[in-house]
Amino acid sequence: MLAFMQSWGFKSELSVNNLIFNVFILIILSGCDAVGPEFVQPDAPVSQQWLEGDDPKISATQAEFSEWWTIFNDPVLNTLVENAYQQNLPLQIAGIRILEARAQLGIAVGNAYPQLQQARGGISHIELSENQSNFSPALDTSFRDVNVGFDMGWELDLWGRFRRGIEAADADLLASIADYDDVLVSLTANVATAYTLIRTFEERLAIARANVEIQEESLEIAETRFSGGLTTELDVQQARTLLLNTRATIPALEIGLQQSKHALSTLLGMPPGDLEDALGSLGVIPTAPAAVAIGIPAELLRRRPDIRRAELQAAAQSARIGIAEGDLYPHFSLVGSIGLRASDTFETDLGDLFQLNSIEAFGGPSLTWDVFNYGRIKNNVRVQDARLQQLIVNYQNTVLEASREVEDALVAFLRAQEQVGFLAESVDAANRSVDLAILQYSNGIADYQRVLDTQEALVNQQDLLTSRRGDIATNLIAMFRALGGGWEIRAGKALVPEKTKETMRNRSDWGQLLKPATPDTNESDENKGLFRRPDW
């Protein structure tokens, strides 16, 4: 190797053919296998089937989750999800982070090319001290110096450090896309949940107001009987107490309704006052189908964006171990400089700069090797390896959390359906009890306490039934979120709005990074040979 390096001296007498041959050998050497481990997908703890998989309402057949919200057959909800996809601001931030990751990939690709390429130029005035050692009167002590030139330095990627850097940047780019998809999964679920809460609060308010009317009639009956001397004032005050308590629930429900609308308007990227037109008239709680297909647990590994992101983060970190290990080995570089220099001293002047004899140049190989680093490099490798192991465990934990979220939503969805069935019968019985109690009270058969008890029970059961009907929908939404559905709607679409891209384009030179800007045309899949094409 030493003799090979000496053959690169500036004054060597190598022929052009030998020079080209040596360069070729260096390039071949730089194509050796990169140091560091090759990433292998970690093992993930995945069950064979869902715990509730035997329930007839659940099917393990493969399902399509790209537009899962359409299962509710609610046109308003469909429109809201589409509007949120177009207008949500955190989603736009996630899309811009993809552009950032693409630019970071461009930096990593550029590192594989000559790292130093600089044009230089300068002029200086020099005054020499006559009191310095070995001074000679023959020296010109005052002169100006001017130079222009070009310097180049290229560290050859013999150990694959730069290739590992590109590998890490590739994985980071794909992880940013997975993060965008994860934001989109949460967005669609949050829109559907907020919409369901709005419709639930609307129905609960309608029930409360209807019960207020019923209780007002009961109060009139009690007052009439009291005026007629058929009962005491106690009945009147008890009737008034129940009525006021029911009225008191209305402001709380209105608070919940307005806060849900505010949350939805934020998801839609619009001020709260602009939401009413999007919601339209009063609607009903989204109705879930009696049975749904959810696939098998193993499908989570490829569908859930957060699982993909966790795996890609580990892959990027695996490559960084190779980057750190590359510092254990010598760094071979080709350096060179060529330029023109002239001074206005003795028989020359600055106008001689562009004459042939003003050329100065040097070139050749260089070697640097951090031999004595007192364990810094090895410990950096250990740091990177420890971080990889953390991310591997994090990947496995992400898989476990994903399975738990599905199981939680699944059992909540199924049990809420059972609960609604019981509550529906309970409401029917409570309605009948109220009718009978009022009839008996009017006829003097029963006291007013029985009327109060039955009416209070009716209010509670109706409100609980409505809430649990909303829970069926929200639990199904949570299940689709846990299954990782909804991100597929961005297929073939730009991840950053054109208006935003135009703003960025006018502010900075983005080259080709803004076009295309979709994960379906990922430039990281191009030119994966020895050298990737840089973006200029």
| Spatial distance between the Cα atoms of 342 and 355, rounded to a whole number of angstroms | 9
| Spatial distance between the Cα atoms of 156 and 334, rounded to a whole number of angstroms | 8
Is the link from the previous residue into 516 a cis peptide, with omega within 30 of 0?
yes
| Tokens standing for residue 409 | 């939503």
| Spatial distance between the Cα atoms of 159 and 29, rounded to a whole number of angstroms | 9
Which strands form 331-343's sheet, in the order they lie side by side? Answer: 116-127, 142-155, 331-343, 359-368
Where does residue 495 rank: exposed (0-12), middle (13-18), buried (19+ CB within 10 A)? buried
Residue matched to tokens 């509670």:
460
Q: How many CA atoms lie within 13 A of 525 on its CB side?
A: 5
Question: Residues near 12 by Cβ (< 8 Å), separated by ≥ 6?
Answer: 6
Contact 318, 389 (CB under 8 A): no
Show the DSSP H helices in 367-513 as ranges. 376-442, 448-482, 498-507
Tens of pLDDT along the chain (536 residues) come to 333 333 334 334 445 445 544 554 555 455 567 899 999 999 988 888 888 878 888 887 777 788 999 999 999 999 999 999 999 999 999 999 999 999 999 999 999 889 899 999 999 988 888 787 777 777 777 888 899 999 999 999 999 999 999 999 999 999 999 999 999 999 999 999 999 999 999 999 999 999 899 888 888 888 888 888 877 888 889 889 989 999 999 999 999 999 999 999 999 999 887 888 888 777 899 998 878 888 888 888 888 999 999 999 999 999 999 999 999 999 999 999 999 988 888 777 887 788 888 889 988 999 999 988 889 999 999 999 999 999 999 999 999 999 999 999 999 999 999 999 999 999 999 989 988 988 887 787 878 788 888 888 988 999 999 999 999 999 999 999 999 999 999 988 889 999 999 999 999 988 888 876 455 544 444 445 445 677 76
Q: How far is CA 207 from the centre of its chain?
A: 41
- At residue 18, the pLDDT reads 56
Domains of the chain, CATH where assigned: 37-124+141-281+293-525 (1.20.1600.10)
- At residue 524, the pLDDT reads 45
Phi, psi dihedrals of residue 189, rounded to the nearest 5°: -70, -40
Secondary structure letter of residue 376 according to DSSP = H
Angle value at C-alpha 64, between 417 and 199, nearest 5 degrees: 45
DSSP 259-308: HHHHHHHHHTTS-GGGHHHHH-S---PPPPPS-EE---GGGHHHH-HHHH
Beta bridge partners of 143: 126
- At residue 63, the pLDDT reads 74
Do strands 359-368 and 331-343 pair parallel, antiparallel, or not at all (unpaired)? antiparallel
Torsional class of 114: left (φ above 0), alpha (ψ -120 to 50), beta (otherwise): beta
| Spatial distance between the Cα atoms of 350 and 302, rounded to a whole number of angstroms | 68
What end-to-end distance do the CA atoms of the chain give, in Å? 35
| Spatial distance between the Cα atoms of 483 and 492, rounded to a whole number of angstroms | 22
Angle value at C-alpha 88, between 86 and 93, nearest 5 degrees: 105
